[in-house]
Amino acid sequence: MGKTPGFSDHFSAIAGQYASHRPTYPRELFQWLAELCGARELALDVGTGNGQAAVALAEHFARVVATDPSREQLERATPHARVEYRCALAHERVLEPSSADLITAATAAHWFDSSAFHAEVERILKPGGVLAVWNYAPASVSEPVDEVLVALGARVASFWPPERKFVDSGYRTLPFPYADLAAPRFQCRMSWTAPQFLGYAATWTAVQRARRELPTDVLAEFAPRLERAWGSEARDVVWPIALRVGRKPGSP
C-alpha cells in the first residue's frame, strides 16, 4: 500500500494494534462540543486514525468528513453511515469554504504543520464555527502501578519525537488560532488488565523507536514489574484530557 507523502508516519505499521489498544473518549465530550455549535450539519475530524472521534461526532452531526494521511489507518477505521473517510494531510483542501460547523483533532494536532492547518481551518469553518483539539495526559491507575508507569516513561523519554513537547505541555504551548473558550474537565476511562495496558504502551511512538534501537525490549523489561503491581484483575485506568477549544469570529 502506498503512503501519502509529506508527513511523518508513526502509526501505519501498527494500525491494527492502534485500533485495538487505544482508550476511548467520553461521550460527554462530543455532546458538549455539539452544543457549542450553532448548527450541526457538518463536522470535520482531522487526523482521524481509526475513526473513533468521527464515529462519536456522527451521533450529533448530519455529516462527518474524517481525514488521515495513513491509508493503513483508514482501512481499519470504523464504518458509519454518516462518516466519509478521506486520505489527506491535515491542511489539504477537502471541504468547501465556510462549510464546517466543527473541526476536531483528537490526539493528532501536535503532528500537524500548524500554520498550514490553521489557514485551512479559517477557510473551512463557518463564521462562529468551533475548533477543538485535544490529547490525553499520562495514565493513572494506582500508586504502585503509577510508579512503574513513571519509570517506563523515563526509560523511553529520549525516544519521543520533538512534537511530544506539545503533549507534555497539555497543548498549552501548541499554536492555536482562536481565543480559548472555557471548557469542562473530561477524562478517558478504561477497565483494563496489565496485558491490555502493555498492548496500549506498545503503540507509543517512543516505545516503537526504543524497540528498534535498543538491544533489549523495553516492554519485556517492565512487564513483570507492571504485572506484579497491577495484579491479575482489571483496574480503572484514567487519562485526563487536555482540551483547547476556540470559536472563529463572526456570527453563525
Confirm if 83 and 113 have CB atoms less than 8 A apart. Answer: no
Q: What DSSP assignment string belongs to 58-96?
A: TTT-SEEEEEES-HHHHHTSPP-TTEEEEE--TTS--S-
pLDDT at res. 20: 61
Q: For 140, which DSSP code? A: B
Residue 53 inside a domain? The answer is: yes
Residues with pLDDT less than 50, the chain: 1-18
Instruction: Give domain status of residue 36, yes or no.
Output: yes
Angle (nearest 5°) at CA 221 between 197 and 10? 60
What is the per-residue pLDDT for 26? 97
Query: What is the tally of structural domains in the chain?
Result: 1
Residue 206 lies in a domain: no
Residue 105 lies in a domain: yes
User: Which among 238, 240, 22 has a CA at the least distance from the CA of 142?
Assistant: 238
Confidence (pTM): 0.90
Rounded distance, CA 122 to CA 120, Å? 5
Written as nine digits, the cell of 58 is 456522527
What CATH code is carried by the domain that includes residue 39? 3.40.50.150
Q: What integer pLDDT is reported at residue 13 of this predicted model? A: 43
Strand partners, 65: 44, 84
Q: Residue 196: which H helix or E strand, with range?
A: helix 194-201
Neighbouring C-beta atoms of residue 244, cutoff 10 Å: 20
Q: Is residue 144 part of a domain?
A: no
Other beta carbons within 10 angstroms of residue 241's beta carbon come to 22
Asked if residue 211 belongs to a domain, the reply is: no
Amino acid at residue number 226: L
Q: Does the residue 58 lie in any domain?
A: yes
Residue 27 domain boundaries: 12-139+161-189+239-247
Q: What local confidence, expressed as pLDDT, does residue 14 receive?
A: 44
* Gap between the Cα atoms of 225 and 217, Å rounded: 14
pLDDT of res. 21 = 75
